[in-house]
Amino acid sequence: MTKPIVTKILTGKVKRMGSADADDRMDRPWESGIFKIEADGNRWVGAEGFTDDEVADKKSHGGPEKALFAYPSKHYAYWLEDQQIDGMGVGAFGENLALEHMDESMVCIGDTYRFGDSIIQVSQPRRPCWKPARRFRVMDLALRIQNSGRTGWYFRVLQEGYARAGMELELIERPYPEWTIVASNEVMYVKKQNPDLAERLASCDLLAPNWKRTLNKRLHGKQSSDAKRVYGPNKA
């Protein structure tokens, strides 16, 4: 079996865009670290990701449970051809790790990999937000990402160290083979009326706490609206 490879490492600084007097929602002020550029050479993989990478919304992005955002590069063919969204290429969704030979069907919660000198562990699927939609001016892009299952996922960092693009990811441990990213996304978005599945996924020790909270709220009959995550703020 071909081993997964990190073909590119991407980092970026927060950018501010839009105009305060814009009428169109797409043109209102917003800021994001989604605009990544390729980073060469050895990079320090710290507890909260690469040292030269920034996030704008620290409540929803970044932190130790979302230290590295990984995305399979092959998905961009789908966005370009099937969805006909222009201008998309590797890095378009703000990923830190561009991956080959790896996708949501073969990655599981808790998977632990050696990446150079660092050790990283899958913490959760990415929950698509409105910022890719704003970047590409496609209002429902977050829903398209969510419904396609091509979400990507996050890694937490168990051991800091140097790594570089071109390195293979060496699987060290797979404690939850039943909880692929595909299966986890199905529980969150498709099988929302199945409390048994929600309870089982929420009991997965290595699932990120924010996913556990969302699932446990569901088990207690509390459903929050996804409108702000999907479409963004109503006002500037």
Over residues 58-87, mean pLDDT = 92
Q: What is the rounded average pLDDT for all residues in the chain?
A: 94
Over residues 207-225, mean pLDDT = 92
Q: Are 32 and 56 in contact (CB under 8 A)?
A: yes
Q: Convert the pLDDT of each residue in 148-184 to its tens digit.
A: 999 999 999 999 999 999 999 999 999 999 999 999 9
pLDDT band per the 50, 70, 90 thresholds, residue 222: confident
Delineate the domains of the chain, giving CATH numbers in brackets: 5-231 (2.40.33.20)
In whole angstroms, what is the distance from residue 228 CA to residue 129 CA?
8
Q: In the chain, pLDDT over 90 holds for what percent of residues?
A: 83
Residue 154 has which token pair?
């996050």
| Three-class HEC string of the chain | CCCCEEEEEEECCCEEECCCCCCCHHHCCEEECCCCEECCCCEEEECCEECCCCCCCCCCCCCHHHCEEEEECCHHHHHHHHCCCCCCCCCCCCCCEEEECCCCCCCECCCEEEECCEEEEEEEECCCCCHHHHHHCCCCHHHHHHHHCCCCEEEEEEECEEECCCCECEEEECCCCCCEHHHHHHHHHHCCCCHHHHHHHHCCCCCCHHHHHHHHHHHCCCCCCCHHHHHCCCCC
Over residues 19-26, mean pLDDT = 83
Over residues 31-45, mean pLDDT = 97
Contacts of 23 (CB under 8 A, 6+ apart): none
Over residues 81-86, mean pLDDT = 86
The model's pTM is 0.95
**pLDDT at 98 > cutoff 80:** yes
Over residues 192-198, mean pLDDT = 96
Query: What pLDDT, on a 0 to 100 scale, did the predictor assign at position 236?
Result: 45
Query: What pLDDT, on a 0 to 100 scale, did the predictor assign at position 3?
Result: 93
**pLDDT at 234 > cutoff 70:** no
**pLDDT at 223 > cutoff 90:** no
Q: Convert the pLDDT of each residue in 116-151 to its tens digit.
A: 999 999 999 999 999 999 999 999 999 999 999 999
**pLDDT at 12 > cutoff 60:** yes
